[in-house]
């Protein structure tokens, strides 16, 4: 999944969207992982997919 030009994944707990994780990818690997643990954000993002 790509959101705003960055790799992302929707996380879930018990098959319910829980949040969104973004990866900051650089030429030499992953520089940062940003987690938004907002169930509403996870649900809205899952609906986009």
Q: pLDDT per position in the chain (49 positions), as tens?
A: 887 788 988 888 888 778 888 999 999 999 999 988 876 765 666 666 6
Convert the chain into a string of H (helix), E (strand) and C (coil). Answer: CEECCEEEEEEEECCEEEEEEEEEEECCEEEEEEEECCHHHHHHHHHHC
- Count of Cβ atoms closer than 10 Å to residue 45 Cβ: 20
pLDDT of residue 8: 85
Range of the domain at 39: 2-48
pTM of the model: 0.65
How many domains does one find in the chain?
1
pLDDT of residue 26: 93
CB 30 within 8 A of CB 7: no
């Amino acid at each position: 999944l790509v959101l705003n030009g960055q790799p992302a994944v929707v996380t879930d707990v018990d098959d319910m969207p829980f949040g969104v994780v973004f990866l900051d990818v650089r030429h030499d690997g992953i520089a940062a992982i940003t987690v938004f643990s907002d169930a509403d954000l996870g649900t809205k993002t899952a609906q986009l997919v």
